[in-house]
Amino acid sequence: MKKIFYFFERFQRRNLLIAAAILLLIIYAGQWVNYTYAARQIDIESRLSRLGQYQLATRKAEVYKARLQQLVKLKKQVGKYFFTGEDDNRLSSAMQLKIQALVAKAGLQAESIRPVMQKSEGRDKEEGGYTLGEVLIKTRLAGTLSQFSAFMAELYRSEEYFGIESISIRPYRNTGLKIFVELRGYYVLLKGDENPGEKET
């Protein structure tokens, strides 16, 4: 170190040393400024990109709202054909009661009406999507052919939709019939936080 100081004193290079130090300082400061500026520029571009996405999304807000209103209206119309509620068992019971009512209205004798299988289909269940549940109802009935025809007519007229899976008819005694009908009822399971205005039950 002494030799270095001697060199600079001997050859009067102190100013050179100071100039070099200042130059290095300026270069370092320039690099720092440049780096900071570039980093901030990247940050700005990221923010502007995000802002652009936000603006694009909000620009279509009215379109989305209109589309949702249209779909909600359509869903309400469609939803009338399904049982709607928040509890699977209650809905299953409601379906049995409805079938019982139709059978009684047609004059048939219901020997048994029992749900045998339940399942539900739907997308985004975890995210609060709509679930379309299914209940398979096996019925064993007794009556005449005209009563069966009346039952089928009532079933077709029913506001709630029941899909007919199978029908089996065989004679019983001289004028009677034994009728086995498998029906599939559908229901919409609502979540607790869903807009009550959308319930159709």
Partner 1 sequence: MKGGLEIIIKAKSIVLSGGRDSLVEEISREEIDAGESLVAFCKKHGLRTGTVNIFLAEELVYVTTIDLPAGTANLGEALRFQLGVLAPFPEHDILYSYTAVRVGDSYRVTVVAARSGHVISLVEQLLRAGFVVKGLYPESQRYVTGKWRKLKWALVLPGKLGKIFVFEGGRLSERFLSREENLQYDELARICDTANIFHPDPPAGENFRSAQMLLAAQPLLKDHNMLPPSYRRLDYLKLIIIFLVVMNLGGLVALGGFKFVEQARIIEKADREITRLEPLVREVKETRKRIRQTEDFLELVGELKGNPQLFPFLENLTMTLPEGSYLNQLQINVLEGTAVINGFTDNIGELTEKLQSVGETRLQSTSRRKNMTYFQVEISLP
Candidate residues 90, 105, 119, 123; the one interacting with partner 1 per rule CB under 8 A: 123
12 lies in the site for partner 1, by CB under 8 A: yes
Residue 139 to residue 46: CA distance in whole angstroms: 64
Give the burial class of 166: count Cβ atoms within 10 A of its Cβ; 0-12 exposed, 13-18 middle, 19 or more buried: exposed
Across 2-157, where does the E strand assignment appear? 83-85, 109-122, 131-143
Burial 25-63 (b: 16+ CB within 10 A, else e): eeeeeeeeeeeeeeeeeeeeeeeeeeeeeeeeeeeeeee
Stretch that binds partner 1, among 86-94, 107-115, 117-125, 136-144 (CB under 8 A): 117-125
By CB under 8 A, the count of residues binding partner 1 is 54
166 lies in the site for partner 1, by CB under 8 A: yes
Degrees to nearest 5, angle at CA 111 with 110 and 114: 85
CB 85 within 8 A of CB 185: no
Q: What are 35's two structure tokens?
A: 């780096």
Candidate residues 37, 105, 109, 117; the one interacting with partner 1 per rule CB under 8 A: 37
CB of 44 vs partner 1, minimal distance in Å: 5
CB of 120 vs partner 1, minimal distance in Å: 10
CB of 96 vs partner 1, minimal distance in Å: 19
Amino acid, single-letter form, for residue 168: S
74 lies in the site for partner 1, by CB under 8 A: yes
90 lies in the site for partner 1, by CB under 8 A: no
Binding interface with partner 1 (CB under 8 A): 9, 11-12, 33, 37, 40-41, 43-44, 47-48, 50-51, 54-55, 57-58, 60-61, 64-65, 67-68, 71-72, 74-75, 78, 82, 121-124, 127-130, 132, 149, 152, 156, 161-171, 186, 188
